[in-house]
Structure 1
Amino acid sequence: METPGGDGFIVDESALNPAVHLPEPVGRGSVLEQVLDALGPVFDGESPEDVAVYGPSGAGKSAVLTALCSQLNESLGRNEDAIWTSTRGTAAVARAQFAYVDARRADSDFQYYHAILESISPNPVPRRGVGTDELRERLDDAVAERAGAVVVAVDHLSETDDDVAHVRSLLEPVAAGTSLVMVAEEPLPEWSGRTVKVPSYRPHALVDLLTERASYGLSSGAVSHDQARRIADWADGDAHDALAALFGAAISAQRDDAGRLRESDVDAGIDAVPDDCVQIGRVLSLPENRRTVLAELLATDGHRQPISDAAAAVGERTDLSPSTVQRYLYELAEDGLLTREAIEDRDSNGRQPTRVRPRFPTLVFERLERRARL
């Protein structure tokens, strides 16, 4: 079996992973310029106005923000030159810092503070032995010691139960030295700050993205231009779904030791991405026990069976009871990661049985979850 950086058909699976973003996003240059323009004051050492970046799923919002935070931290934030400030009497770093927070993984105040500190602090930030109050104090000190602004980008907020008001309350003690970049799929209600709208990918840009990712992730000549175009046309501007289909097609081809993608592989890759697809990053951010249930659900074809039968089958393969598995399945359906569907049963005289259908890329999830367990 190949490794993520191996020399098989799949050379580097991280390049195919929709949840992994390249240092330079493909086809998002104009969006990058708009966000940079909105953050312009940081280049003069001032805090910019809060910015909301919104657009449909798979439009490249996360790709732009992660690349921007990383590149600007390298060019500005990590500058070790210091200036002397008469008010503090200490050396203060003169440049801005950029912190990226994935709201799907920051499910507590502690996680928010930890994610921000990891981005702006030159020292390791512990996860154990410290409480939320201590991390808040560390953040207060870190912001106070800087002469430049701290820009906090909060991504995937619309995929959580959190809201802008709560994020603002977390940063209230350091509000004077911080600016927010909120990333969502829809315009934020009652937002009064600046906004940047991100459009879906155009077909040619999506083909370019798939071609570049394939050049890093697959062996030479594995994907034809026509196949990339077919996937791009099917994905209808959604880069996440396009990459998930490409990754799934590669998995299908590798299973048969094929030297390049076949049309049947493209079919398999597309079929493994549901029409109402949930992004794979959201699934991978679930607690381990939920991911285990989903993995075993697919391994046992439980998504084709009544929920009670699926729960029993998963329970036999894990240390979870069938009742616990069934509860998890209902919760995952309520959270939108699964869809409950009625099963036609002509012999049933009582309540119609239901099953759950995955709303995430199944081939990609199985591959990445298996890797995580190694």
Structure 2
Amino acid sequence: MSDHEQHLRQLIDSMTASGSLRTEPWKHAAAAVPRHEFLRSGFFRVVPGSSPTAWAPVLEDGDGWLSACYADESLVTQIAGTIKPTDIRGEIMREPTSSSTLPSLVLRMLEDLQVKPDMKVLEIGTGTGYSTAVLCARMSGGNVTSIEYDQDVAQHAREALGRIGTLPTLLTGDGLLGDDEGAPYDRIIATCAVRTVPAAWIEQTRPGGQILTTIGGWLNASELVRLTVHEDGTAFGPVLGGHVSFMLARPHLPPPLGLLPDISAGKEREAIVGADALTDWTTRFVAQFAVPTAQHLKLQQGQQDEDVLVDVETGSWAVLQQEDSRWIVRQGGPEPLWDAVEEHLGRWHAAGTPAVEEATVRVTAQAQTLHW
């Protein structure tokens, strides 16, 4: 048994023990895909103790490269939209823009997709091509179409898939638009997060088909959701939970805030819910549905910390300050942002703050709503 085969066997055993790899067909699919083939351009590793976060390249056959390829962790493969591990020496302090998702999450999502070998599947976000390869190992490659936004990333995936003899249909373009030419699909799976589920995905999924995607937002919380598409063009389904986090699709990233509004004006009152509630992942996820176009930032005014929400579409804003044991909110603009957050969280608390696994998401042409 070669080194990479031994590492792969250990990875499969680990994923099986953790419960992310649950059925024999997917175990066989995972065992058929050598992950290191999709990481031959290397990856970036966090520099220990760096602040802000710095990244250092790990290149093929470098120290720890092969074992890391088979570790159950996400590996950053691109920084700042264009920079590959082979492009630099030393360290870089920029934001990651592409990665190879940790294998246990890939397999968990593929299991949750409830796919059958004869179904047509559209994958949004080819990335390195690893998840595409695992999907093809379970199905016929002719039934799998994968779209990648970034041309360089798509080319590397194409080469890696070719090396192992896997031949899905590979497209380069905006995955949020789906693939109208190949529609309808039985399943759509997204390996990026979206703020709102694109209408094109629903239109391109046959009635009774499913969309598996991570819904996130600008308050930085996200969850995996499985939606069933209905004849009337709506989609509805459960939140699967697990605090699943993917990079937001690039067109769904928050815009620059620019010049802040005058937050010294506005109406002031005592808050029912304090800004400290937003330190909790699930609370942020619920709150995002009330203020889907709001961004959250912290400011320091003298000795006073302020939590600020700014809606980049309407211009509405809210500022929260803690005074002793109470919170004060000041709001301005067309819509009172914090009122909407409190009302939405209030209904959630009245229901007993159910876990996200008890929630469902409904998507219509007019809105995307959370129910429990």
**Greater strand share, structure number:** 2
TM-score over 0.5 for the alignment? no
Scaled by the length of structure 2, the TM-score of the pair is 0.29
**Greater helix share, structure number:** 1
Scaled by the length of structure 1, the TM-score of the pair is 0.28
